């Protein structure tokens, strides 16, 4: 099917990263849209966990905030914020964490804190939120972020959430028990960490995207997998469901 | 025992210049009306604590109430930046704002330690990030059984907690439900506790998922229907997402913000006729 | 995902010789039927963990299932002693029973640490008592911020939790209410989780004060109406205080106990017709 | 009024130790009876907290166990067992803790663990339960126990819960924040710690009790206050209410 946007392609690709029956710690925005798309298509028993304390939320419309009332109304269980972090995230019960990024580096470290020096920031960003512990404790992390030289930098200005630190062995050294980022899904394609070096490698481009575009949108010398594939384009059903979901979030 | 009083009286008696104040509510039940009353009463040099500084803190910071902010995520949820917060951090307007920055898990555990009467909490977190280099309330502790190194954060014990709930009874027992966030921990960690509520009822009817705080751990209850607007009170109101969007334009510019502040806060009594 | 199965199948698949087993329930919701099924299946060398070893552990200890007991209060509530427990500790009958003794607060915090994925918990407790001299799972830890010395207890992570609740739905989500005790912490601290329930229902109706554990943290659910007798299930049954009183005579003497065990446990299937 | 038992006198005296509006951490048995008597007489707003997690329970009959359903049905709030100890008892929110004892010594240390050596006990008792932390963290502790040489010993075989340790300064040394035992109420009278030495001193005898009886029932050389008083005997109302309460606990 044709007639889809790169943003839609990114969301669809992200939703495909979620297996059925998995438990997923969901941030608001694209991750939430992708998770709800997955639940409405190939993963009906996907368990959505939001940091507001809602476990097994099954919203019938797209939540507009992490603490949207629809999450509490439809959840299997609603717990306090300390409990969601201490009893549910910290022990490694959650399979997949979905994160965004303002800056991302070649080792998939994430910055959502500041652009420029911390004490004299060029841009002050919102900060950590739940991300550092999601990145540390989920079984794996999927990063969803638009690709550009501004975002994909050689070294992040501030490590808010650890991907692979400075390379192999760092996660173990820090005692981080999750496997870390396994996929970075962008509007251009998909990157995965090299099992040897932990450096992000382009493993897929979305239909119509040239490798050169991805290289130009990356602030380091981007490696490309020998077996680079082209992402399967969104199916009619995926697009219909996605658009229906997004319509529910339209401004009142 | 909690006393039922007006919001102006409650703020006047419990919130003082220089206090550490936690105005909490995780997206839900944010006591915005109480925050605006603090602005109206001209409180200064407050250390504001909140996991998600949101419109309520953007307003208090822009109005010059705060000298320090302890937080874990400072944005306008679903919209973008908090412009008054950014202007204070980047340009010290209207005054310098010191910041002490944590993750959600870290700040939540600091409240837990405070509520538990412990000087610190143990957690897995922060390791490998740049946060410990800039926040000296993040240290490490070694397990006396396994030798494993973990993260320690100190208890947060605010001078006053400012919170919103759906209901209180006439004895001052408070009930809230829906997303309950860190409300219980903040109330139990704080020296003084101020609740605004949607409604004072004769008797609290037990509700699924409700947190009930007995009157003897609450100091003041003020009935302020809609006191959480533009956030919401589960079962009473919906989140005003348009207001959050419109705040972006109001707060982006110092003059439009100041005009808004004069018109909507300083120029009003806060008491809805 | 929890599987619905018979109690014998659930015990056979989840409880093995040598396991550390937590059969919990604070006065309320004590899974006595499940404990008796463990006896019936002849499990041996179990390390039994429970805040209040009560009739259920007196029976399991007297039947020879246990080689160690981790506990904080071992009595027959409102009646007196647990005679089989005392006979095992004082006379090694039917076999020696090692004990590891804590306070309620300490044992509760050990479950909390286990549920939290932490190796230990920090608390104020035990200091000045003779417990640390006899229990090596009580140590001290120093606050990295204040230098204050506090008590540390290690996480408890049982191989299997055996718990009773009022309801489960067909997907295996479990709901319990009333006095909820340490049930959530024990379930989340344990590698495997077995629930007996009063009733399997089509849908769990939300209840005030209820704890709901999602199916994906539970392994097996067995429908055992009355499975908490002589303790109770709030909303389903009352505590059988006469039974607790009568247990004193049954358990006081080895022969009467053995006769009771043969007749009431080993001689039955446990499945009420 | 006449015609009351020493056990009733003890319970009445214990109930009088509870001020209205106080918060009281209640154990089962006599403490629970006394607390409910206080609530039914001079302290209608007494807040009863049980270790089963019930805060503000207002039972209409005597609970038969610490986890009696009537406590949950009538409580302002029911919380988990970890929460009752960590958020409510540990920070020192509870004014009065009510404890019993199998052995009690001159410094009001309590033994509920073993009689004889720990590793070869003559009598194995139930153990600590909530007592060590109640004794440590409540604003003050009231001990309710029948007085005899078996119970009132010079030194307890095992310190389960700390009164004043070995004397002045020990509570501070151990970091115990409550004031410790302020009264020991027995079937013979009332003992209070000497402010200087922390040793228990007989300050009151119940009507009809001779000081000599109290001395003979004490395993150390019992000091008697110069201003020894005689306890006011139970009022008609106290006895009527007490008997009505105890009737509700009669075996079914």
Mean per-residue pLDDT, C50-69: 97
> Looking at residue A250, what is its pLDDT?
58
- Residue C273 in this model has a pLDDT that exceeds 50: no
Q: Is B171 on the interface with D (CB under 8 A)?
A: no
> Looking at residue C78, what is its pLDDT?
81
Residue of B186 and A30 predicted with greater confidence: B186
Query: Is D210 annotated in the active site?
Result: no
Chain A residue whose CA is closest to C214: A76
Interface predicted TM-score (ipTM): 0.97
pTM over 0.95: yes
- Interface partners of C (3+ CB pairs, < 8 Å)? A, B, D
Q: Is C164 on the interface with D (CB under 8 A)?
A: no
DSSP 3-state of B193: strand
Report the run of H or E that residue B183 belongs to, with start and end.
helix B183-189
pLDDT per residue as tens digits for the range B223-247: 999 999 999 999 999 999 999 999 9
Q: How confident is the model at residue B78 (pLDDT cuts 50, 70, 90)?
A: confident
Contact check, Cβ <8 Å, D127/C182: no
pLDDT per residue as tens digits for the range C117-133: 999 999 999 999 999 99
Contact check, Cβ <8 Å, C115/A77: no
- How far apart (Å, rounded) are the C-alpha atoms in residues D36 and B153? 41
Q: How confident is the model at residue A1 (pLDDT cuts 50, 70, 90)?
A: low
Contacts of C105 in chain D (CB under 8 A): 85-86, 89-90, 130, 132-133
For D90, which of B117, B213, B216 is closest by C-beta distance?
A: B117
For B216, which of D23, D86, D91 is closest by C-beta distance?
A: D23
Q: Each residue of A10-25: b (16+ CB within 10 Å) or e? A: bbbbbbbbbeeebbbb
Strands A189-193 and A200-205: antiparallel
DSSP A170-219: HHHHHT--S--EEEEE-SSEEEEE-TTT--EEEEEE-TT--HHHHHHT-S
> Looking at residue D60, what is its pLDDT?
86
How distant, in Å, are the alpha carbons of A61, A64, B27, C117, C123 from that of A71? 10, 10, 12, 26, 34
- How far apart (Å, rounded) are the C-alpha atoms in residues B110 and A152? 34
Contact B152, B121 (CB under 8 A): yes
SS (H, E, C) chain C: CCEECCHHHHHHHHCCCCCEEEECCCCECCCHHHHHHHHHCCCCCEEEEECCCCHHHHHHHHCCCEEEEEECCCCECCCECCHHHHHHHHHCCCCCCEEEECCHHHHHHHHHHHHHCCCEEEECCCCCCCHHHHCCCCEEEECCCCCCEEEEEECCCCCEEEEEEEEEECCCCEEECCCCCCHHHHHHHCCEEEEEEEEEECCCCCCECCEEECHHHCCEEEECCCCCCCCECCCCCCCCHHHHHHHHHHHHCHHHHHHHHHHHHHCCCCCCC
- How far apart (Å, rounded) are the C-alpha atoms in residues A77 and A64? 20
Instruction: Please list the pLDDT of chain D residue by residue as tens digits (252 residues).
Output: 568 999 999 999 999 999 999 999 997 778 889 999 999 999 999 999 999 999 999 998 888 788 888 899 999 999 999 999 999 999 999 999 999 999 999 999 999 999 999 999 999 999 999 999 999 999 999 999 999 999 999 999 999 999 999 999 999 999 999 999 999 999 999 999 999 999 999 999 999 999 999 999 999 999 999 999 999 999 999 999 999 999 987 553
For A162, which of B128, B241, B242 is closest by C-beta distance?
A: B128
For residue C6, give how far its alpha carbon lies from the nearest alpha carbon of chain A (Å). 24
Torsion sign across C-alpha atoms C258, C263, C267, C271: negative
Torsion sign across C-alpha atoms D228, D234, D238, D239: positive
Q: How confident is the model at residue B269 (pLDDT cuts 50, 70, 90)?
A: confident
> Looking at residue B61, what is its pLDDT?
98
Measured CB to CB, residues of chain B less than 8 Å from chain C are 117-124, 137, 139-141, 143-146, 148, 150, 152, 154, 206-210
Q: How confident is the model at residue A63 (pLDDT cuts 50, 70, 90)?
A: confident
Q: How confident is the model at residue B273 (pLDDT cuts 50, 70, 90)?
A: very low
Residue closest to C34 by CA, chosen among C202, C161, C145, C219: C161
How distant, in Å, are the alpha carbons of B128, B199, B233, D39 from that of B176? 37, 11, 9, 28
Report the run of H or E that residue D30 belongs to, with start and end.
helix D30-40
Contact check, Cβ <8 Å, A55/C117: no
- For an interface test with D, give the residue of C105, C177, C239 to mutate (most D CBs within 10 A): C105
């Amino acid at each position: 099917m044709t007639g889809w946007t790169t943003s839609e392609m990114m969301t669809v690709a992200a939703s495909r990263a979620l297996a059925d029956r998995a438990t997923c710690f969901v941030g608001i925005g694209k991750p939430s849209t992708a998770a709800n798309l997955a639940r409405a298509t190939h993963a009906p028993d996907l368990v959505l966990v939001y940091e507001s304390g809602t476990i097994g939320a099954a919203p019938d419309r797209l939540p507009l905030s992490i603490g949207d009332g629809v999450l509490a109304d439809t959840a299997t269980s609603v717990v306090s914020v300390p409990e969601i972090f201490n009893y549910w995230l910290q022990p490694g019960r959650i399979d997949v964490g979905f994160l965004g990024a303002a800056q991302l580096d070649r080792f998939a470290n994430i910055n959502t804190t500041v652009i420029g020096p911390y004490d004299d920031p060029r841009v002050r960003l919102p900060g950590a939120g739940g991300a550092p512990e999601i990145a540390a404790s989920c079984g794996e992390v999927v990063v969803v972020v638009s690709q550009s030289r501004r975002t994909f930098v050689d070294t992040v200005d501030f490590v808010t959430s650890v991907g692979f630190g400075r390379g192999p062995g760092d996660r173990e050294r820090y005692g981080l028990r999750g496997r870390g980022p396994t996929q970075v899904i962008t509007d251009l394609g998909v990157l995965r960490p090299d099992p040897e070096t932990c450096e992000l490698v382009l493993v897929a481009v979305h239909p119509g995207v040239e490798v050169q575009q991805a290289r130009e949108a990356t602030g380091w010398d981007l490696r490309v997998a020998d077996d680079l594939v082209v992402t399967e384009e969104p199916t009619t059903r995926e697009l219909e469901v996605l658009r229906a979901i997004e319509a529910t979030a339209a401004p009142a | 025992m909690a006393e039922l009083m007006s919001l102006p009286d409650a703020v006047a008696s419990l919130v003082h210049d220089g206090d550490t104040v936690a105005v909490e509510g995780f997206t839900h039940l944010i006591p915005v009306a109480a925050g605006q009353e603090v602005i109206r009463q001209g409180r200064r040099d407050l250390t504001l604590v909140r996991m998600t500084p949101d419109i309520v803190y953007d307003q208090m910071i822009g109005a010059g109430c705060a000298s320090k902010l302890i937080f874990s995520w400072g944005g306008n949820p679903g919209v973008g930046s908090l412009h008054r917060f950014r202007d204070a951090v980047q340009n010290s307007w209207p005054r310098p704002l010191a910041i002490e920055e944590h993750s959600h898990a870290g700040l939540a555990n600091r409240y837990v330690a405070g509520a538990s009467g412990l000087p610190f909490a143990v957690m897995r977190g922060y390791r490998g990030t740049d946060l410990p280099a800039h926040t000296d309330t993040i240290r490490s502790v070694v397990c006396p059984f396994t030798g494993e190194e973990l993260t320690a954060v100190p208890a947060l014990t605010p001078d006053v907690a400012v919170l919103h709930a759906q209901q209180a009874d006439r004895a001052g027992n408070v009930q809230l439900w829906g997303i309950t966030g860190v409300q219980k921990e903040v109330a139990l960690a704080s020296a003084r506790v101020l609740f605004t509520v949607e409604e004072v009822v004769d008797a609290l009817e037990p509700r699924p998922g409700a947190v009930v705080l007995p009157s003897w751990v609450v100091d003041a209850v003020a009935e302020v229907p809609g006191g959480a607007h533009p956030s919401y009170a589960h079962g009473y109101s919906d989140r005003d997402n348009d207001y959050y969007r419109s705040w972006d334009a109001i707060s982006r510019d110092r003059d439009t913000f100041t005009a808004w502040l004069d018109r909507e806060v300083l120029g009003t009594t806060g008491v809805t006729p």
